[in-house]
Structure formats: C-alpha cells, structure tokens
Amino acid sequence: MLLVNWRDTGHPEGGGSERYVERMAEGLARAGYRVEIQCAAYPGASAGEWRDGVRYRRRGGKFGVYAHALRAIRRARADLVVDVQNGMPFFARLVAGCPVLVLVHHVHKEQWISALGEALGRAGWWIESRLAPWLFRKCRYVTVSEVTKGELAGLGVEPDRVAVVPNGLDAPPACESGRAPEPTLVAVSRLVPHKRIEHAIDVVARLAGRWPSLRLEVVGQGPWDEVLRAHAASRGVTDRVVLHGWVDERTKHEILARSWLHLCPSVKEGWGIVIMEAAAHGVPSVAYRAAGGVAESIVEGRTGLLADDFDHFTAQVDGLLADGLRRAEMGLAGAARAGTFSWERSAAEFASLVREVSGREAPRPRVLAGAPELAQPRP
C-alpha cells in the first residue's frame, strides 16, 4: 500500500491531516499490509526511515514532492495507491497500475486565492473542483466527515463513491493542571493565514473591557508567528496573549486542561482533531459554522457553539465565559462524546475500505527471528 502525501507529522507545517494519514498507515501495517508513505523532504529529516511498521520516503520540497511521488507511484508494485488530496492531487491515476483511493479532508475553495493570489488561486481551484473530479471519476474516495462528503458531492463526486472514516482520538493523559482561576482561552493550530488566529486575538481585544483578566494561549508553530505577534501588539493585548510555539504533547494537554474555552476560527477544517482533544478535557469549542467539518465535530449547543461571523463569534465566546453552568454542562457532554472516538476504530474502518477497494486481504504479519525486516530502511 503506497500513500502519497504532501507532508508527514515531523514537517514544520505538519498538522492534523498528517496525523490522520499516519494513523491509518500504521493501522494497515498492524493488519499485515506492507505500507509506504511518500512525502516531502525537509531540513533535519532523513530521506528514508521505518516508523511504527511504515516506511517513509522523503523526496522533493513543497512543489518537487509531486514529481517524486509520480515516479514512486509508477515504479511501485502496489496493490493500492492512496492519493492524499490536500487541495492539489498527486494525479496518481495517470501512472498507477492499480486501484487508487482518493483521500480528501476538506475542499479548499476559500484558501486558494488567499494562499496563491488571484490568478494562481483560480487555477488551483479549477484543478481541485473540475479537473480532479473528472480524472478520478472512476475512483473511490474517503473523507473524515459527512460535511466534506457533501462538499465533494457538490463537485460531482457521487456520494456512493465516498466513504466516511472519521478522525480518531488518543486518550488524554492525566494532567496536573486544574481549570485556571482567570478566564483563559486557547487556540491550538498551525500558524498559517487560513487558520485565522488573528480572530482569536481580536476576541481578546474586544472583550478585554468586560473581562479584565482574560488571556489567550496559542499553541503551535508556523510562518505566521511574527505576523500574529505584531497583530497582538497592534491591538494592545501583548500582555494577554501567549504564543507558546511548538510544545510537546504533555504540555499541550496541560494547557488544554487549564483552559475555559477552545477557539477554532479557521476558514476550513475537515474535522478539527483539537476540538475533540479539548472536549476530552471538558473544554467546549467555538468555531465558524461555515468552516466545514467543525459543524460535525462540535455538536452545536451541546459540546460547543458555532458562529456566523466575527461579531457572533465574539458574542458566543462572551456568553460562555459568563455562563459557568452551561460551560460545565458542555464540557461534560463533550468529554463523554470524545470517549466514543479512537484511532484504533478508525484504522479498522480504513483497513476494511482498503480491502474492498484493492481486493486484497492483508497477508498474515510475519514474525522474524532476530532484528525484524522493518528495522532498517532500504535506500
């Protein structure tokens, strides 16, 4: 099984979609399949390694990764190729000698122009919305939410070709942090334009008069870090906003555990893994209704709230900060719901789909004497 993806989780811009791909790949490896991920290279990463039963090959940069992936697909004697379409597909169907499964987390209509400008953005959206559905018209798709399945239907991908395998969740570690005594907001995200962390900062600026001790903790790294620091300074809330940068998993969970509310002002999310991570700590989320899968990861009015615009977003945050009982009830409901999700269950569903699409059962996992075959990567 060959999965072609833009990045892996070690990449400086890696995030939830990369975690999903890797967890599904690890599940396939546990089931007995031989699994490879072809992705981009980045400073400090080896060109190849085995991790958790999966072989990683890193070639090319942000754009060169596509040419290397096509070469890998053409050369591979795979039973199935998973083309992970993060806006731009890898065009696996052009060269693959086996079935292709297309993985889409969400569609990127709102992001193309903001990322690439008017001309290139329109070209990118045409590829995603017109060319890719035509090219993969005979292929099966998989996505992480019914919302994205509906968006794909709007692009001409028939619903009966689309399977939904949701994101899973790791059980949260036991944390020492209790809920902070002062109102504390948290945003966990890659720091890139379409995540709109500026809106979280603007909420703090807007509500500072009503909540004198209000603070925001931002967890994550990315090229937008300095822009966000400058934005906090321009809004006069530098003393209220902490940009932690990258933190380890334990620290991330400690920050979530002490927060009152989690803010997800992103333009678009396929699901929003961190929404469920926050819920596991009893922390409700506020997000934009139009942001795709968040309308599914948040059960509106029960585990969090959705907003229609920035003013509404701010009002939703303000209302939950003021209503401790409602916030606690949402926290309990969210924690209970988060407990129903697991990576193991999602990986099993994904493996079942792989068997169906490829027509191949996994071979029985081999146990070798001495060092296992997966211990060392081949060149």
Which amino acid does the sequence have at 55?
A: R
The reply to whether 2-168+342-365 and 184-338 are identical in fold is yes
Percent of the chain whose pLDDT exceeds 70: 95
The pTM for the full model equals: 0.86
Residue 253's pLDDT band, with cuts at 50, 70 and 90, is very high
Question: Which residue's entry shows tokens 């060109």?
Answer: 47
Question: What average pLDDT score do residues 362-376 get?
Answer: 46
Residue 110's pLDDT band, with cuts at 50, 70 and 90, is confident
315 token code pair: 């009002």
Residue 367's pLDDT band, with cuts at 50, 70 and 90, is very low
Average pLDDT, the chain: 92
Question: What pLDDT shows up at residue 119?
Answer: 82
Cβ proximity of 218 and 202 under 8 Å:
no
Q: What is the DSSP letter of 107?
A: -
Q: What is the DSSP letter of 362?
A: P
Instruction: Please tell me the distance from the alpha carbon of residue 10 to that of residue 21, in angstroms, as a whole number.
Output: 13
pLDDT exceeds 90 at position 183: yes
The domain locations on the chain are: 2-168+342-365, 184-338
Q: What is the 3-state secondary structure (H, E, C) of 41-71?
A: CCCCCCCEEEECCEEEEECCCCCHHHHHHHH
Question: What pLDDT shows up at residue 364?
Answer: 63
First-to-last C-alpha distance (Å) of the chain: 18
At the top level of CATH, which class does the domain 184-338 belong to?
alpha beta
Q: What is the DSSP letter of 203?
A: H
Cβ proximity of 338 and 280 under 8 Å:
yes
Exposure on the CB side of residue 116, measured as CA atoms within 13 A: 14
Residue 240's pLDDT band, with cuts at 50, 70 and 90, is very high
pLDDT exceeds 60 at position 356: yes
Question: What pLDDT shows up at residue 363?
Answer: 72
Question: What pLDDT shows up at residue 19?
Answer: 93
Residue 296's pLDDT band, with cuts at 50, 70 and 90, is very high
Residue 109's pLDDT band, with cuts at 50, 70 and 90, is confident
Question: What pLDDT shows up at residue 370?
Answer: 36
- Strand order from edge to edge, sheet including 304-307: 241-245, 215-219, 184-188, 261-264, 285-288, 304-307
Which amino acid does the sequence have at 234?
A: S
Question: What pLDDT shows up at residue 111?
Answer: 75
Strands 241-245 and 184-188: unpaired
pLDDT exceeds 90 at position 112: no
Q: What is the 3-state secondary structure (H, E, C) of 4-37?
A: ECCCCCCCCCCCHHHHHHHHHHHHHHHCCCCEEE
Alpha helices in the chain (DSSP H): 16-30, 64-75, 109-116, 118-126, 132-135, 146-154, 197-207, 225-234, 249-257, 273-280, 294-297, 310-322, 324-338, 343-358
Exposure on the CB side of residue 172, measured as CA atoms within 13 A: 27
pLDDT exceeds 80 at position 131: yes
Instruction: Please name the residues in contact with 161: beta carbons below 8 A apart, sequence gap of 6 or more.
Output: 139, 140, 141
Question: What pLDDT shows up at residue 365?
Answer: 55
Question: What pLDDT shows up at residue 368?
Answer: 35
| Host H or E run for residue 129 | none
Please state at what angle helix 249-257 crosses helix 273-280, rounded to 10 degrees: 60
Question: What average pLDDT score do residues 186-200 get?
Answer: 94
Instruction: Please tell me the distance from the alpha carbon of residue 206 to that of residue 161, in angstroms, as a whole number.
Output: 45
pLDDT exceeds 60 at position 379: no
Nearest alpha-carbon partner for 284 in 322, 317, 314: 317
pLDDT exceeds 70 at position 259: yes
CATH architecture of the domain 2-168+342-365 equals 3-Layer(aba) Sandwich (3.40)
Which amino acid does the sequence have at 163?
A: A
Q: Which of 10-24, 29-43, 292-306, 351-365 has the lowest mean pLDDT?
A: 351-365
Exposure on the CB side of residue 258, measured as CA atoms within 13 A: 16
Dump pLDDT digits (tens) for 223-233.
Answer: 999 999 999 99
Q: Which of 61-70, 328-337, 357-366 has the lowest mean pLDDT?
A: 357-366
Which amino acid does the sequence have at 102?
A: V
Question: What pLDDT shows up at residue 270?
Answer: 85
Question: What average pLDDT score do residues 46-63 get?
Answer: 94
Categorise residue 222: left if φ over 0, alpha if ψ from -120 to 50, beta otherwise. left
Exposure on the CB side of residue 80, measured as CA atoms within 13 A: 27
